[in-house]
């Protein structure tokens, strides 16, 4: 045994660490196999599956637009340099062949031996029911997203004398998620569940009435079900709904014939707080519980402050978002349980300030986009097509994921081509037959002619295309989209800006500016930074803070309204609005945030929407915007370059005494505490700037504080270090 | 009781007939329910299923191009005037809802009651595994192709206050076939089978060697299989192939573990005449037979003549075509078992002169076309895209089916757009990366530059588009395609016609005419009628009958070569060629016609192709062309307007003493006997002209014979009548 001298110890440890790292890397590499598929296909398939789980009073209620399908036949391949012959295990969804250097093995092997040397391993898989997928696990040969895939391999065997020019074939990198177990194929994926029990359960001879204490989601479980007869489960997000057997939005009807006691779990998950179970005949039930179904998200962001109501708003918002984050970002858990692009867009933004679950963002965008040809706007809604582009812009900014942009640039192009093909003679987007111009649920909102709000979103979409074109080495495209965007922006101001009204008007009809001013285009103009500073102030005064302009009643558009105000530094005002509006829902008993909230409504009327007494969704993702507002405009964290390589933190207490929280970044978080006297901040990655206002000169022991203007100071942050700044907040 | 006077009797009979017709119509209407789906979707789904049954020495061998998929979510609806409330039975493939006037029934009803009055019945169906399909059977409410379907219904419920403009939705008529049984859904469809037994069976302790007497197709059945071990079945179209366990193209490997005797049928059908069954271990087999699998076609055409060899050629050709006509027209039954557009195109033509099974034609065209977007030529082959258009032209001419043209015109347009987008600066089609320019299997055939043959097919495709545009009220399209075709035709003659060579040359490379003359473009120029009479004669002399021009060795291109000669009146020459070429295969033991036949090859070499000793398919649809030649150019029957509304019959004995046969028309047949002395002809429908040559004035008791030129005579035929003409054949 060698005695190690003290001065060498460090080196030995370093060497040992290196060794462990090598071993670990090798091990990690060997373990890195994952199920792979044609990118975008699993997302479409799973989206179909999830969205077709909706029922409306026990009738199947699917989406109203085209559902695409996966490619049923896929070729997967990769070239390997194999150091020594190795055994490779295979699992495949579909019927398939496996080839090494073009030579097929007979049958459907579960394991093959690949000899040492340079070899091409390829699999070709046909599967109609679900997505052709493979899992390949050897020592050095593993399936991952470095494999190439195509839906038309044009594999012309040279021996036939055929002209063999495969250069026309497009290969993409394989898609994957986190299916790392050879025995758990993608088609079997299910969200996890765990048992939950009612906080109150009223049992009667032929019924149960249960209260689970708060909004929840999952599968009802009937314990000890026995007998013959009919059993009904009426679900309610409110007590009134569960009691309204004629009008509750969802229900189950079971024909029971169980001679022996048996536990029975409903096939479809539902949203509810209350359930009303009624049965006849000889049926008996011991008890009723549920399996709570949830997306296994990490709580990577957080917010806590001196105001307990705001804390509750943040927590309920996060719970609301978590419930509405499932296989995809859906609108609401009772209904529609569909992926709506405008709703999802807000979920993406809220997600960046909470779970930072990027795969759910990209998965949702892929499911929304579907495949070519484009036959309709996304969800049939013009604005929702544009939000899809905006989502890509943000996705790249927050995650820095260039691969996604690269793989799906052709689908962006074809969707944009669809839009460009639908412009009118003035180059503006108007609603054509079959188009839904949505904007917002608001009484009397005009959708006629060229709506300014739609052109704003269209312009931002073109800017996104220009950015993506640049990223994809398409300089011609970048120039084209840029020119289109610039031209459209000029028109927007020429056609809609009304200096008497100090705002953009709502629309042009037959080429004539209408007199109507609404909040929509004006609030986007602020945080898109399309307005001059002067225009922003005019719009703030004459639109945002003007009670004569039609009010917004959906949390959906409240999101942007409050964002615009925050962007103008109106955090104190917005904090009050937040407490009034979201706090107002608490006063009506909300345990999650609603699709719509009108403070003027009372009684049973508060649950009505779409002409149905319980039509309103009481757990709607777009109700969760405080997560985003508090993260981006109070903690004040924003990426400045893709994936937080550069970012800025501009905390704004907005009247709070103190606040603290974490904002996730791709590989870490930015942690912040801020009171009126001190800021403490640290970040795991990126180059950050902390910018704040102070009445007096601030002090930071760790670094220099730079004065940047009247009462404005900045520090340059270093990743991994904690900075403590003593200051005097304005 | 009223006594009916004689003069009124006729009226009464007419009235009674009318009553019976009404009753019968009612009954027929009530029985007319059939399974329906989105048009084209079942064809694509079934095509995927069928084509993915190919194996190559027990390895799965799928196609090399994109396989499309059906729409997974479909809305079906129809408005009905219901005389009295009726019960309507339902069967659906998929999960679904049923609505009457927009009101959904709960659950998945198997029967509903529709009240009297005007009602809209609609179903919405989701199915990933197979094609969403419905069967609806009431007294007056039945599912059939008058239902409308869409893949995006944009059903915005007015109650939501949503802008509801559905006029952007495209509805098509539902697709159907002949699935008229509510209990037999489309996904369960299988071709029928019947037992067949070997004509010779050699049994040994561990093997069987069977000869089924002729080429056949189906599932091998092992009777009384028992024991443990491996069992192999080696299939052979030739004895040599079945004996070549190392090189036979198809085989099955079974791992047997059967304690008790059991009959076992192979999962996949195969093509063979011989089978070689070998087994080891304790395996025993009592006997081996097969289940012959076949398309249930009607033999609507026929041909018989004074030459027994020609009769045998015709019969074996028809058997060849029958074997290669399955769910679709495939190339060969051993391989590829795929739908190849160029091969299928010939099957369509042969089919019109034999089985006249129109659904197999349209089904094949739909499976070939798949869906948008077009990402490649059909089967990746440029010529095969053009044959697809040519097939539509013929289909309309022979069947008169306008609905098909109407429903799928958009898919024709997008495929043509794909072609137009790939023209070079001179407007010609050249092979781009990823394109396969096939033409024919022929040694040293150049595919470089602008190949004249491809431009010929492209030109005809444009003419087809022009025709279809006219049929679909697209006058702008008709003008556009017409102009493109005319322009291209001019270029063809400008660029390729070489007056020294009296022919079109093979190609232009870098804008320069090559010196090479091949048969391809020249023979098409004749029967496309692109040449002047003078040019035809030149081409006949200098190309078709010129041994110095590279010979054709595939029956595929022999088809067109002999057609061109027949179109020039060379029936006696072609008859000799037919006897030499197809008769030549008989001398080598053919029981069906081959993929390729080169009279100079002998020994085991005759079965080799693609560098494999048994690569050649011995039952290939394109080997069956005598059916077409004998029907169209000997019996001489051709439609002149869509669906045989007008047609011409120009019998040509070509050296035979007599011939007789039937040529099917959409709703009947044209029957013909022709010797050197007499013609007897009758037709079930259409306006026909019989044209023939006679040395002396012919006599027809039934009608007037019109002299039409030197020795040329015509009669006008009346449907349902038999005409007997005595003449003196030239």
How much is the pLDDT for B434?
87
Nearest CA in chain B to A150: B66
Chain B partners within 8 Å of A52 (Cβ): 73, 95, 126
Q: Are A131 and A37 in contact (CB under 8 A)?
A: yes
Distance from B110 to chain A by nearest Cα, in Å? 14
Residues 606-625 of A with CB under 8 A from B: 610-612
> Hey, are the CB atoms on B372 and A376 less than 8 Å from each other?
no
Q: Which of A586, A526, A527, A519 is nearest to A554 (CA)?
A: A519
Report the C-alpha gap between B567 and B633 in whole angstroms: 7
CA distance to B107, B436, B690, per residue, from B726 (Å): 72, 53, 13
Q: Are A260 and A287 in contact (CB under 8 A)?
A: no
State whether residue B253 sits within 8 Å of chain A by CB: yes
How much is the pLDDT for B23?
42
State whether residue B155 sits within 8 Å of chain A by CB: yes
Q: Are A58 and A34 in contact (CB under 8 A)?
A: no
A171/A217 same-domain check: no
Chain A partners within 8 Å of B107 (Cβ): 58-59, 253
A505/A551 same-domain check: yes
Residues 321-380 of A with CB under 8 A from B: 372-373, 375-376, 380
> Hey, are the CB atoms on A373 and B372 less than 8 Å from each other?
yes
CATH number at residue A676: 2.60.420.10
Neighbouring residues of A326: CB distance < 8 A, sequence distance ≥ 6: A50, A191, A293, A295, A333
State whether residue A268 sits within 8 Å of chain B by CB: no
A589/A700 same-domain check: no
How much is the pLDDT for B13?
45
How much is the pLDDT for B31?
55
B593/B484 same-domain check: yes
Distance from B94 to chain A by nearest Cα, in Å? 11
Q: Residues B28-56: pLDDT tens digits?
A: 445 589 999 999 999 999 999 999 999 99
B276/B334 same-domain check: no
Neighbouring residues of B205: CB distance < 8 A, sequence distance ≥ 6: none
pLDDT > 70 fraction of chain A, expressed in percent and rounded:
94
Q: Report residue A78: phi and psi, to 5°.
A: -160, 145
**Is A5 inside any structural domain?**
no
> Hey, are the CB atoms on B437 and A65 less than 8 Å from each other?
no
**Is A662 inside any structural domain?**
yes
How much is the pLDDT for A608?
96
Q: Residues B491-542: pLDDT tens digits?
A: 999 999 999 999 999 999 999 999 999 999 999 999 999 999 999 999 999 9
Q: Is the pLDDT of residue A7 over 50?
A: no
Q: Which residue shows structure tokens 């299923």?
A: B49
Chain A partners within 8 Å of B154 (Cβ): 64-65, 376, 380, 434, 436
State whether residue B426 sits within 8 Å of chain A by CB: no
Q: How confident is the model at residue A156 (pLDDT cuts 50, 70, 90)?
A: low
> Hey, are the CB atoms on B152 and A612 less than 8 Å from each other?
no
**Is B314 inside any structural domain?**
yes
Nearest CA in chain B to A414: B373
B590/B666 same-domain check: no
B623/B645 same-domain check: no
Residue that is last in its domain, among B253, B276, B293 = B293
Query: Which among A67, A95, A160 is the nearest to B72, CB-wise?
Result: A67
- Strand duo A722-726 + A699-700: pairing: antiparallel
State chain A's mean pLDDT as an integer: 93
Distance from A45 to chain B by nearest Cα, in Å? 9
Query: Which among A58, A152, A157 is the nearest to B66, CB-wise?
Result: A152
Q: Which of A193, A246, A190 is nearest to A220 (CA)?
A: A193
Report the C-alpha gap between B38 and B124 in whole angstroms: 12
Q: Which residues of B367-388 are buried (b: 16+ CB within 10 A; e: fewer)?
A: bbbbbbebbbbbbbbbbbbbbb
Report the C-alpha gap between A91 and A110 in whole angstroms: 6
Nearest CA in chain A to B150: A66
Mutate to test the interface with A, among B42, B44, B59 (most CBs of A within 10 A): B59
> Hey, are the CB atoms on A611 and B156 less than 8 Å from each other?
no
Number of structural domains in chain B: 4
> Hey, are the CB atoms on B105 and A59 less than 8 Å from each other?
yes
Tokens read off for B697: 């004035």
Helix, strand, or coil here: B390? helix
How much is the pLDDT for A167?
61
State whether residue B106 sits within 8 Å of chain A by CB: yes
How much is the pLDDT for A31?
54
H and E: helices and strands count for chain B: 15, 35
Report the C-alpha gap between A362 and A359 in whole angstroms: 5
CA angle B644, B650, B656 (to 5 degrees): 130
**Is A517 inside any structural domain?**
yes
A174/A210 same-domain check: no
- Strand duo A668-675 + A658-665: pairing: antiparallel
> Hey, are the CB atoms on A434 and B169 less than 8 Å from each other?
yes
Q: Which of B102, B94, B105, B99 is nearest to B134 (CA)?
A: B94
CATH number at residue B471: 1.50.10.10
> Hey, are the CB atoms on A128 and B124 less than 8 Å from each other?
no
How much is the pLDDT for A158?
39
**Is B678 inside any structural domain?**
yes
Mutate to test the interface with A, among B55, B68, B69 (most CBs of A within 10 A): B69
Distance from A340 to chain B by nearest Cα, in Å? 14
The burial class, CB within 10 Å (0-12 / 13-18 / 19+), for B5 is exposed
Nearest CA in chain A to B169: A434
Residue that is last in its domain, among A234, A266, A293 = A293
Ramachandran sector of residue A304 (left: φ over 0; alpha: ψ -120 to 50; beta: rest): beta
Distance from A719 to chain B by nearest Cα, in Å? 48
Distance from B111 to chain A by nearest Cα, in Å? 15
How much is the pLDDT for B20?
43
> Hey, are the CB atoms on A60 and B129 less than 8 Å from each other?
no
Residues 185-244 of B with CB under 8 A from A: none
> Hey, are the CB atoms on B436 and A372 less than 8 Å from each other?
no
**Is A594 inside any structural domain?**
yes
B562/B467 same-domain check: yes
A313/A462 same-domain check: yes
Q: Are B340 and B54 in contact (CB under 8 A)?
A: no
DSSP output for A319-364: HHHHHHBSSSB-SBTTTT-S--HHHHHHHHHHHHTTT--HHHHHHH
State whether residue B159 sits within 8 Å of chain A by CB: yes
Q: How confident is the model at residue A603 (pLDDT cuts 50, 70, 90)?
A: confident
Residue that is last in its domain, among B163, B183, B203 = B183
**Is A18 inside any structural domain?**
no
Nearest CA in chain B to A53: B95
B257/B329 same-domain check: no
> Hey, are the CB atoms on B163 and A63 less than 8 Å from each other?
no
Average pLDDT over residues A380-392: 97
Average pLDDT over residues A386-404: 97
Q: Is the pLDDT of residue A176 over 80?
A: yes
Average pLDDT over residues A153-160: 56
A–B interface: beta-carbon pairs under 8 A: 200
Q: Are A230 and A280 in contact (CB under 8 A)?
A: yes
Query: Of the ranges A63-67, A430-434, B679-683, which one carries the lowest mean pLDDT score?
Result: A430-434
How much is the pLDDT for B30?
52
Regions of chain B where pLDDT drops below 70:
1-31, 156-167
Q: How confident is the model at residue A511 (pLDDT cuts 50, 70, 90)?
A: very high
Q: Which residues of B18-31 are buried (b: 16+ CB within 10 A; e: fewer)?
A: eeeeeeeeeeeeee
A273/A289 same-domain check: yes
State whether residue A96 sits within 8 Å of chain B by CB: yes
Chain A partners within 8 Å of B434 (Cβ): 154, 165-169
Domain that holds residue B205: 193-293
**Is A272 inside any structural domain?**
yes
Nearest CA in chain A to B68: A71
How much is the pLDDT for B153?
85
CATH number at residue B286: 2.60.120.260
Mutate to test the interface with B, among A50, A54, A130, A165 (most CBs of B within 10 A): A165
DSSP output for A466-515: HHHHHHTT-HHHHHHHHHHHHHHHHHHHHHHEETTTTEE-SEEETTEE-S
């Amino acid at each position: 045994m060698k005695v190690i001298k003290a001065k060498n110890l460090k080196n030995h440890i370093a060497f040992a660490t290196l060794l462990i790292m090598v071993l670990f890397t090798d091990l990690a590499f060997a373990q890195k196999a994952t199920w792979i598929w044609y990118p975008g296909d699993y997302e479409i398939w799973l989206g179909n599956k999830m969205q077709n789980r909706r029922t409306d009073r026990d009738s199947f209620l699917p989406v109203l637009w085209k559902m695409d399908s996966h490619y049923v036949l896929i070729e997967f391949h990769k070239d390997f340099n194999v150091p020594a012959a190795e055994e490779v295990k295979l699992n495949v969804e579909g019927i398939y062949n496996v080839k090494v250097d073009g030579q097929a093995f007979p049958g459907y092997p579960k394991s093959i031996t690949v000899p040492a040397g340079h070899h091409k391993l390829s699999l070709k898989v046909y599967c109609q029911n679900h997505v052709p997928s493979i899992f390949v696990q050897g020592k050095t040969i593993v399936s991952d997203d470095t494999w190439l895939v195509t839906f038309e391999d044009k594999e012309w065997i040279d021996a036939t004398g055929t002209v063999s020019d495969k250069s026309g074939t497009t290969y993409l990198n394989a898609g994957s998620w986190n299916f790392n177990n050879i025995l758990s194929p993608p088609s079997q994926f299910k969200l996890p569940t765990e048992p939950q029990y009612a906080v109150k359960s009223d049992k009667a001879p032929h019924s149960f009435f249960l209260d689970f204490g708060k909004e929840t989601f999952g599968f009802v479980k009937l314990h000890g079900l026995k007998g013959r007869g009919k059993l009904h489960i009426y679900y309610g997000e409110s007590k009134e709904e569960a009691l309204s057997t004629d009008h509750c939005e969802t229900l189950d009807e079971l024909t029971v014939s169980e001679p022996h006691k048996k536990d029975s779990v409903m096939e479809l998950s539902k949203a509810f707080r209350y359930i009303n179970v009624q049965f006849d005949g000889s049926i008996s039930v011991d008890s009723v519980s549920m399996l709570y179904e949830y997306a296994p998200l990490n709580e990577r962001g957080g917010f806590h402050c001196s105001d307990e109501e705001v804390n509750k708003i943040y927590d309920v918002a996060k719970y609301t978002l978590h419930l509405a984050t499932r296989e995809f970002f859906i609108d609401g858990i009772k209904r529609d349980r569909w992926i709506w692009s405008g709703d999802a867009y807000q979920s993406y933004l809220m997600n960046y300030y909470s779970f930072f679950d990027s795969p759910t963002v990209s998965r949702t965008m892929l499911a929304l986009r579907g495949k070519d040809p484009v036959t309709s706007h996304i969800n049939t809604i013009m604005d929702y097509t544009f939000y899809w582009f905006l989502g890509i812009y943000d996705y790249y900014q927050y995650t820095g994921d260039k691969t996604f942009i690269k793989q799906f640039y052709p689908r962006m192009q074809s969707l944009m081509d669809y839009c460009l093909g639908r412009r009118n003679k003035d180059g503006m987007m108007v609603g054509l037959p079959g188009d839904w111009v949505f904007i917002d649920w608001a009484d009397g909102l005009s959708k006629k002619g060229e709506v300014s709000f739609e052109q704003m979103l269209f312009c931002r979409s073109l800017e996104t295309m220009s950015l993506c074109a640049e990223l994809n080495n398409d300089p011609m495209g970048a120039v084209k989209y840029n020119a289109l965007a610039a031209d459209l922006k000029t028109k927007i101001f020429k056609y809609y800006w009304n200096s008497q009204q100090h705002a953009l008007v709502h629309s042009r009809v037959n080429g004539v500016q209408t007199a109507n001013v609404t909040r929509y285009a004006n609030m986007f103009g602020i945080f898109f930074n399309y307005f001059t500073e002067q225009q922003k102030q005019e719009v703030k005064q004459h639109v945002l803070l003007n009670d004569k302009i039609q009010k917004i009643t959906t949390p959906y558009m409240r999101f942007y309204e409050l964002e615009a105000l925050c962007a103008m530094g109106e955090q104190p005002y917005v904090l009050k609005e937040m407490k009034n509006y979201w706090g107002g829902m608490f006063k009506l008993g909300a345990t999650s945030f609603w699709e719509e909230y009108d403070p003027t409504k009372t009684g049973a009327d508060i649950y009505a929407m779409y002409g149905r007494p319980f039509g309103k969704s009481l757990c709607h993702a777009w109700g969760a915007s405080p997560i985003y507002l508090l993260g981006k405009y109070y903690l004040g964290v924003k990426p400045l370059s893709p994936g937080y390589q550069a970012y800025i933190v501009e905390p704004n207490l907005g009247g709070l005494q103190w606040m603290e929280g974490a904002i996730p970044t791709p590989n870490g978080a930015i942690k912040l505490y801020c009171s009126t006297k001190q800021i403490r901040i640290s970040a795991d990655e990126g180059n950050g700037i902390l910018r704040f206002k102070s009445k007096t000169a601030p002090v930071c022991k760790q670094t220099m504080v730079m004065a940047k203007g009247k009462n404005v100071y900045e520090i340059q942050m270093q990743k991994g270090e904690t900075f403590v700044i003593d200051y005097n907040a304005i």
